[in-house]
Structure 1
Amino acid sequence: MKLANVSLSQQVSALALDRGLVLVVATLISIGLIMVASSSLDFAAAQYGDAWFFVKKQLTFLCIGIAAGIIVAAIPMTIWQRYSGILLLMAIFFLVVVLLPGVGKVVNGSRRWLSIGPVSMQASELSKFCLIVYFASYLARKNHEIRYEWAGFFKMIGIIGFVVFLLLLEPDFGSSVVICLTLGAMMFVAGVPLLRFGLLALTGVVFLASMARLSPYRWERLITFMDPWERQFDSGYQLVQSLIAFGRGEWLGTGLGNSMQKLFFLPEAHTDFIFSIYSEEFGLIGALVLIGLFSYFVWKMLCLSRVAFYRQKLFGCYLVFGIAVMVAVQAFINMGVASGLLPTKGLTLPFVSYGGSSLLVTCTLVALVFRVAWEERFGAE
């Protein structure tokens, strides 16, 4: 059945798609806005003279993200698959252009930002969208080749290697890890033989470990991660303050707005370490609820991916699976870093952390999930 022939009542019903999926996305967005406000008001007032500075920017990007998501969701999956090669070229273009002096903007020693009109976007975030769509398309179109021929395998490895090389020039080690894990998981579920996948995984682990060992500041982060209290006034300061926030939260938290660590003790409280402030204000129970919401979000996407697989819609299957893995990996790393489970790495918590690039790209990726759900229910145009 074509979407054009769907009745008005069916169209209204389709807007809900999977009510559970819509509800969990709306809940995460709401929590994000509340926590950006709670964690940034004092810092924004002192830094910019406007307590609502970050909240206004987050709301602006949310509106842009919703508008972009509506446009993305209106485009049939066949179009995304047909022009996925252009998206790959766009991803490489963004990652190359951001490295050019005078074009890419340097923030905290990394050249990651592109100025697009009045807004700045992280090239790595834009590339995530493009790469997931391209790989889903390639894995669907060349499924036999990647299962039984080495040529298809090496093509994908070459693309991943080149993208990671460009990311490390910025440098952006965190995005490199997220992209490698996401695209690797997509290859695995698409049927890459275990021997080749094991070779890929081993190569990736050795390469990333070597990069960490050969980079002084990354190695310092690893050492600090092992015992942050030994360097609590130096490289371990941020992690120690984050752990103090978790300790103050206890079971039920100090209450919304009552965090002490956000009062200039914990750097990046509204971005990379917003989970620490959330846990301080809502406690262990609140943290488990948030983890549960992300788990449910990822599970719903995996269910949709399985449905698409059984209906032989491989592009939609791999696309939704890749988005689910990316959200899961990024959420796990962010929460792991904040709780001291993983070495410090600057990655946002999807939908929750302050960050226009992350919010915009996450909205568009979720819009693709909604599009797949729409077509699974009503068929493609």
Structure 2
Amino acid sequence: VLIPGVGKGVNGAKRWIPLGLMNFQPSELMKFAAVIFAASYTVQRQEYLHSFVKGMLPMGIAVALVGGLLMAEPDMGAFVVVALIAFGILFLGGINAKLFGGLILVGLMSGAIMIALSPFRRGRMLAFMDPWQVDNAANKGYQLTHSLMAFGRGEWFGVGLGGSVEKLHYLPEAHTDFIMAVIGEELGFIGVVVMIFLFYWIVRRAFLIGRTALQLDRSFAGLAAKGVAIWIGWQAFINMGVNLGLLPTKGLTLPLVSYGGSGILMNAVAVAMLLRIDYENRILMRGGKL
């Protein structure tokens, strides 16, 4: 949080604004704002999407400004999700393939530089590569090792709902960032597969709603629906990858599942918008008017 004296610090990061009943996390609002802004920008700049200066550069500057604020918190995970939403919508809107390829290259290089310049991120990367190494297991690899142990305890069918041991102060952030590990421990491999399928179904439905809206010449609504799919899909993928040890540890929650006021609130707003787009699609397909 940029304003001095306002933000609430947790684990070395200032990402929250205390509002009495809840701590509001601005980065969650920014994800939703990225969907709206990118969809609107893509529709308005449709004729310039093959131009770097008029098409991609303004979006790149906007994302960089937001990224600077998010990295100051620091919150690299939220920055990655915002960038994926913004440029994912731009790609679906028809941006030049060569420009998009160059963008991916720049993004990968920027990520590598940010990791290289931060001792904390370098340590997390090394811990991710070998979490069971003695120094890592008791330090930066602690969360990952206990997450993997939780999955191991769950085996095929889990230890039973509420029976997790790792969530009892062994696995940090078991109710937020590592909720998937607790699901794996309590409901087993079968529960994890069901959870993955549910997210696949939600993302697929969101893309179908977006495609229908585009077929009805509702460009903004279609891209906004697909933006929600990108948001939920990528954030769920990153969270699950972190829990399973396939990606370095990041402070990203599992959408619609993890505990948290701001995250759940903005996820609910996004789903509500998705349902409204689908409702309007159905009215138009029946020959009605909005």
Indicate the residue corresponding to 1:168 in structure 2. 71
Q: Which amino acid is 2:254 matched to?
A: L
**Count of residue pairs the alignment pairs up:** 284
Unaligned runs of 5+ in 2: none
Indicate the residue corresponding to 1:122 in structure 2. 25
Of 331, 338, 342, which residue of structure 1 is paired with 2:236? 331
Indicate the residue corresponding to 1:285 in structure 2. 190
Residue 160 (structure 2) pairs with residue 255 (structure 1)? yes
Deviation at 1:228, TM superposition (A): 0.3
Task: Specify the SS of the correspondent of 1:147.
Answer: coil
Indicate the residue corresponding to 2:249 in structure 1. 344
Indicate the residue corresponding to 2:104 in structure 1. 201
Indicate the residue corresponding to 1:306 in structure 2. 211
Deviation at 1:321, TM superposition (A): 0.5
Deviation at 1:149, TM superposition (A): 6.1
Q: Distance in 2 between matches of 1:308 and 1:193?
A: 22
Give runs of aligned pairs for residues 91-110 of structure 1, distance below 5 A: 98-110=1-13
Q: Which amino acid is 2:275 matched to?
A: F
Residue 54 (structure 2) pairs with residue 151 (structure 1)? yes
Indicate the residue corresponding to 2:44 in structure 1. 141
Task: Specify the SS of the correspondent of 1:252.
Answer: coil
Indicate the residue corresponding to 2:180 in structure 1. 275
Q: Which amino acid is 1:183 matched to?
A: A
Q: Distance in 1 between matches of 2:16 and 2:173?
A: 18
Indicate the residue corresponding to 2:94 in structure 1. 191
Indicate the residue corresponding to 1:359 in structure 2. 264
Residue 152 (structure 2) pairs with residue 212 (structure 1)? no
Kindly indicate whether the alpha-carbon contact (under 8 Å) linking 2:30 and 2:82 is maintained by their aligned counterparts in 1: no
Task: Specify the SS of the correspondent of 1:228.
Answer: coil
Deviation at 1:116, TM superposition (A): 3.2
Q: Deviations over 1:177-214 (max 9, x none)?
A: 11111111111110110111111111111111110111
Kindly indicate whether the alpha-carbon contact (under 8 Å) linking 2:179 and 2:258 is maintained by their aligned counterparts in 1: yes
Deviation at 1:148, TM superposition (A): 4.6
Q: Distance in 1 between matches of 2:54 and 2:41?
A: 13
Q: Distance in 1 between matches of 2:229 and 2:155?
A: 30
Q: Distance in 2 between matches of 1:233 and 1:109?
A: 19
Q: Which amino acid is 2:236 matched to?
A: A
Q: Which amino acid is 1:358 matched to?
A: G
Task: Specify the SS of the correspondent of 1:342.
Answer: coil
Give runs of aligned pairs for residues 17-96 of structure 1, distance below 5 A: none
Q: Distance in 2 between matches of 1:258 and 1:149?
A: 54
Indicate the residue corresponding to 1:228 in structure 2. 131
Deviation at 1:165, TM superposition (A): 1.1
Q: Distance in 2 between matches of 1:202 and 1:216?
A: 23
Deviation at 1:265, TM superposition (A): 1.1
Q: Which amino acid is 1:364 matched to?
A: V
Deviation at 1:118, TM superposition (A): 3.1
Residue 261 (structure 2) pairs with residue 374 (structure 1)? no
Q: Distance in 1 between matches of 2:10 and 2:24?
A: 12
Higher helix share: 1
Task: Specify the SS of the correspondent of 2:248.
Answer: coil
Query: Structure 1 runs of 4+ off > 4 angstroms?
Result: none
Identity %: 45
Q: When the two structures are superposed, what TM-score results if normalisation uses the length of structure 2?
A: 0.95
Q: Which moved more, 1:371-380 or 1:191-200?
A: 371-380
